[in-house]
Chain A
Amino acid sequence: MSGGSVTDLLELDGVSRVYSSRRGFLGSAVAVRAVDHVSLRVAAGRTLGIVGESGCGKSTTGRIALGLERPNRGGVRFEGQPMPAPGSAAWRRMRARMQLVFQDPLGAMDRRLTIAAQIMEPLTIHGIGSAADRRERVAALLRDVGLRPDHAARHPHELSGGQRQRAVLARALATDPALLVCDEPVSALDVSIQAQVVNMLTDLQAARGIAMVFISHDLKVVRQMSHEVAVMYLGRVVEQGDPEAIFAEPAHPYSRALVSAIPTPGPRRQARIVLSGDPPNPVDRPTGCAFHPRCPVAVAGCRVETPELRAMSDGRKVACHLVQDTTRIAA
């Protein structure tokens, strides 16, 4: 348990993750900064949403938060303690307190094991309870995620996509974690099922006080789930703050394009901003502000100097040379 201090549950301090990659076959090795100087905090019982497109570093950030990857720079603290070395006994103990839920429930499950056996597995691994306790616990977990007792004896392929995602959640909840890192947990689900799972996550958070890092490319779902949101682009956080404020009036030119790109039924509130070009490959990271080649408002300085994430008067943070204050968003 935490030492009772008012520290955040999870703290990422200036973390960077650099991979070594080759430019083409037999090419020279280049450093790829998947995550570049990211600082994030998640308080107990709260949800931090991370949005961005493929390659923005949102999944790597989630894996760093769980200690599945070590940052090259910066530090991760969980319940006030620095992250132990992966694989160590201390790390395994900590891992029982933080769990990962990702997009593909079938890939996350062992096809040969029944649902009950999969949910029981973490209890056995972490030596929680007696055999009888565990069986009782599995039954309670199934109930909590809205599965029927008869689902326990089934195999993953006998469940629907939504039911499988519920089973994966039950397994993640088995060790009573304080933090869930959810990486695109509802992206593979149909709209009607997605709403069921989103509501269930909200209910579980309210009932158990679980903190969440909710990673998704779907801004609508992130808005629904999050107390705070971070928009990432090419390894860096470009805007961070209250989801209501950011999605209603995004300040960073990238957030603005992202928000305007969401197709929604009903009348469109703002003109769509169609960015030119693809998100650049992290291997060929542009100089200065990494967004400048696609930015509709970039000026010469953006090519040279990387903007820092600065606090605005309304509490959000924005990394853009052109955004002086969010009370008067630069056009």
Chain B
Amino acid sequence: MDGIGHRAETLVALRGLTVAFQGVPALRGIDLDVRRGEAVGLVGESGSGKSITWLAALGLLPKSARVSGSVTLEGKELIGAAPSVLDEVRGGRIAMIFQDPATALNPVHRVGRQVEESLRLHRGMDGAAAAAEARRLFDLVGIPDAGRRRHAFPHEMSGGQNQRVMIAMALAGQPELLIADEPTTALDATIQAQILDLLRRLQAESGMALVLISHDLGVVADMCSRVGVIYAGRIIEEAPADVLFAEPAHPYTRGLLGALPDMVGPRRRLLAIPGGVPEPWNLPPGCAFAPRCAEALPACSASVPVFREAGHDHAAACIRVGVRENVPA
């Protein structure tokens, strides 16, 4: 564990979570706490394992996946839990929304009915009560003319409206934690701003915790109070969002920020990280980032670096952290 102090009560705790497919590791030991009401960001590139983390935690991976480690919801173990336990958690206490609402919604059912179905499943509501609550949820997520739009099919709605329907479905179970996996990646910029605004408002009003999975550092910076950066199946840095973006400690985090074009100030050549993300079946020994790292030492390839304290509430898995002070940001 990383020695980060506990403020609010921990809602979900991941400890040493690993996933392998046919012997190939996809997750290599994830430790993460989500406290009540907080917004945690999980940033990483494709294939880093940021989505698999939560699919594994909720038992949503195919049977071929080997999952080990521990995921607890208020102390109750979810890994290996009975299907009936998981069914109550999924969509109930923990809800999930995805990048592409069009594929997550059932194309042949009216959107209102899909929300009512969630209400029936998770809150035992039926008939007029479910219809009224569905309508309230549609209003809550900002679907204009909710009374009529409930009768629309997903293909009759825009991508942004469908994502609002997904959010309404997720809220139907009154979740304590909402996992949003790239919720705005498929949306236009002005619609992304609307959806992020909505998520922020819903989180503030309901007090639910939020885990935002994204490849977009800007989105995470905007939405989250704490951020974990994931690389090749491991969290390599964790810090409060403002600290992470102001003083990134891990060379990979610094690399990601340097690779991002600025919106203000003089244009500079982007600092590209050389090479690509290693294939899971072909991971380098020791630190998985070492072959791409400009600051790598021979020792980096010797063993997997442990988390070191980089500051208050701030830890990074790099052997240089804490050894050399004042690492330039």
Once the chains bind, are B197 and A274 in contact (CB under 8 Å)? yes
What 0/1 readout, one digit per residue, does chain A (271-294) give for beta carbons within 8 Å of chain B? 011111111000000000000001
Once the chains bind, are B245 and A221 in contact (CB under 8 Å)? no
Once the chains bind, are B267 and A223 in contact (CB under 8 Å)? yes
| B206 in contact (CB, < 8 A) | no
| B8 in contact (CB, < 8 A) | no
| B256 in contact (CB, < 8 A) | yes
Q: Which residues of A contact B259 (CB under 8 A)?
A: 191-192, 194-195
Q: B273's closest neighbor in chain A, by CB?
A: A192
Given A192-B45, A196-B272, A202-B269, residue A272 in contact with residue B193 (CB < 8 A): yes
Once the chains bind, are A195 and B271 in contact (CB under 8 Å)? yes
What CA separation (Å) do A269 and B218 show in the bound complex? 13
Q: A260's closest neighbor in chain B, by CB?
A: B193
Q: Which of A195, A248, A269, A277 sits near B272, CB closer than 8 Å?
A: A195
Q: Which of B160, B192, B261, B273 sits near A261, CB closer than 8 Å?
A: B192
Once the chains bind, are A265 and B272 in contact (CB under 8 Å)? no
| B222 in contact (CB, < 8 A) | yes
B185 to chain A, nearest CB (A): 10
Q: Which of B194, B221, B255, B276 sits near A265, CB closer than 8 Å?
A: B221
Given A53-B189, A257-B190, A275-B190, residue A265 in contact with residue B267 (CB < 8 A): no
Once the chains bind, are A263 and B263 in contact (CB under 8 Å)? no
| A72 in contact (CB, < 8 A) | no
What 0/1 readout, one digit per residue, does chain A (167-202) give for beta carbons within 8 Å of chain B? 000000000000000000000001111111011001
What 0/1 readout, one digit per residue, does chain B (244-267) give for beta carbons within 8 Å of chain A? 011000000001111111111001
Q: Which residues of A contact B264 (CB under 8 A)?
A: 247-248, 269
The tally of CB-CB contacts under 8 A between chains A and B is 124
Once the chains bind, are A220 and B263 in contact (CB under 8 Å)? yes
| A54 in contact (CB, < 8 A) | yes
B236 to chain A, nearest CB (A): 14
Q: Which residues of A from 205 to 263 have beta carbons under 8 Å from B?
A: 217, 219-221, 223-224, 247-248, 257-263
Once the chains bind, are B45 and A191 in contact (CB under 8 Å)? yes
Q: Which residues of B contact A196 (CB under 8 A)?
A: 272-274
Q: Which of A265, A266, A275 sits near B193, CB closer than 8 Å?
A: A275
Q: A268's closest neighbor in chain B, by CB?
A: B222
Given A160-B276, A192-B256, residue A259 in contact with residue B263 (CB < 8 A): yes
What CA separation (Å) do A176 and B267 show in the bound complex? 28
Q: Which residues of B contact A264 (CB under 8 A)?
A: 218, 221, 262-263
A97 to chain B, nearest CB (A): 28
| A162 in contact (CB, < 8 A) | yes
B250 to chain A, nearest CB (A): 13
